[in-house]
Amino acid sequence: MDWHRIRSDFPILDQQVHGHPLVYLDSAASSQKPRAVINTLSRYYERDNANVHRALHDLSARATDAFEAARKKVARFIGAASDDEIIFTRGSTEGINLVANTWGTQNLRAGDVILVTGMEHHSNLVPWQLLAQRTGAILKHIPVLDDGTLDSAAIDTLLTEQVKLFAFVHVSNSLGTINPARELCAKAKAVGAVTLLDGAQSAGHMPINVRDLGCDFFVFSGHKMCAPTGIGVLYGRMELLETMPPWHGGGEMILNVTLEASTYKPPPHRFEAGTPDIAGVIGLGAAIDYLEAIGLENIQRHDHNLSNYAVQQMREVPGIRILGPDFGHRGALVAFHLDCAHPHDLVEFANSHGIAMRGGHHCTQPLMKRFKVPGTTRASFYFYNTIEEINRLVEVLLAARKFFT
């Protein structure tokens, strides 16, 4: 693989920041976009832009075709059984809220258990807290061990028949832990629990097959996998989607409306009220084409090499504490704490050397408390990053040690 050539598909990466070549290590927050996606968006706005599904004119027909073709691509990309199992959302957060407000409200009663883990993003925690408050359900979590993996003994005691829903993150955005999703979904299924997998950090980084994983719901965000912001996906097994009431009411989701009541379309349109992010959906389709041309296995291997190389090199920095699995099986990020500097100061220092990282709680406050750190600094990678950039990061971390002590 010619990763340097692939990197040149990303125009934004070719710039200087504070007199240094930009080193973008914040892809876990949002990825950069290749020219193929940017061009697809301009072409759509220059040639085909119109609202979908509602008109008989040519532009609308073209926009609708491109929109529905993207739904097909997404279904294939994650191994769904049908295009109708793909619901377009604004992102992972909206997908989770949709499930909480439809399936959750319909199925949870006082005393039922919602099980999460101690490493959830706030997006996969707060919607369940709200649901628990509304329904009287009880929220429990699987603890995280010191090495950043889930406490597997606790899983077996917590995953009982009281658990109606088990929602957990596939790849942790704060630790890099890759959870054994297939095994966990099988355990949940054995006690009759419905599963929701938060794929915000796994989609676009590894091959995904929802049927092989065995999850009931899967969410991800386009902007973390080369697509525009504002577009995401909720996958749901048709058997469940069919039973779920709508969440948002409005245009596009109805069959028939009187002043008193309405009937609704079947999934997925039942859950897509109003004008969707048409350009976003088409851009997501272009991102999938782009990623598949590189190959998800290749991306996964490159992620793995980068993160393992980074852990190996960063370990040598004096006073560093790296969170999450030490080696081997980890996602494309390294979160760490340097004893001499607050994460915010360190991130500013790195920025003045052209390195873009993120410092803080990364939307996982309970996890920061668990590891007794005020926050961490996170270097996150994607396939456009290089070994040279990791060397540069280590150089700047060593300079930071001198600067702050």
* Residues near ligand PLP, by CB under 6 A: 91-93, 121, 123-124, 169, 173, 198, 200-201, 221
Q: Count of CB atoms within 10 A of residue 250's CB? A: 11
Token output for 34: 């290749």
At closest approach, how far in Å is the CB of 285 from ligand PLP?
18
Using CA atoms, how far apart are residues 133 and 105, in angstroms rounded to an integer?
11
Tokens 């504490």 belong to residue? 321
Using the minimum distance from each CB to ligand PLP, give the nearer residue, 217 or 349. 217
Using the minimum distance from each CB to ligand PLP, give the nearer residue, 30 or 298. 30
Residue 386: burial class (beta carbons within 10 Å; 0-12, 13-18, 19+) = middle
The radius of gyration of the chain from alpha carbons, rounded to an integer in Å, stands at 22
At closest approach, how far in Å is the CB of 57 from ligand PLP?
33
Using the minimum distance from each CB to ligand PLP, give the nearer residue, 235 or 349. 235
Q: Count of CB atoms within 10 A of residue 223's CB? A: 25
At closest approach, how far in Å is the CB of 95 from ligand PLP?
8
At closest approach, how far in Å is the CB of 227 from ligand PLP?
11
Using CA atoms, how far apart are residues 115 and 188, in angstroms rounded to an integer?
10
Using the minimum distance from each CB to ligand PLP, give the nearer residue, 48 or 216. 216
At closest approach, how far in Å is the CB of 178 from ligand PLP?
12
At closest approach, how far in Å is the CB of 91 from ligand PLP?
3
Using CA atoms, how far apart are residues 244 and 106, in angstroms rounded to an integer?
8
**77-104 burial, b for 16+ CB within 10 Å, e for fewer?**
bbebeebbbbbbbbbbbbbbbbbbbbbb
At closest approach, how far in Å is the CB of 173 from ligand PLP?
3
Using the minimum distance from each CB to ligand PLP, give the nearer residue, 40 or 92. 92
Using the minimum distance from each CB to ligand PLP, give the nearer residue, 64 or 202. 202
Using the minimum distance from each CB to ligand PLP, give the nearer residue, 96 or 155. 96
Using the minimum distance from each CB to ligand PLP, give the nearer residue, 21 or 366. 366
- Residues belonging to the active site: 363
At closest approach, how far in Å is the CB of 61 from ligand PLP?
31
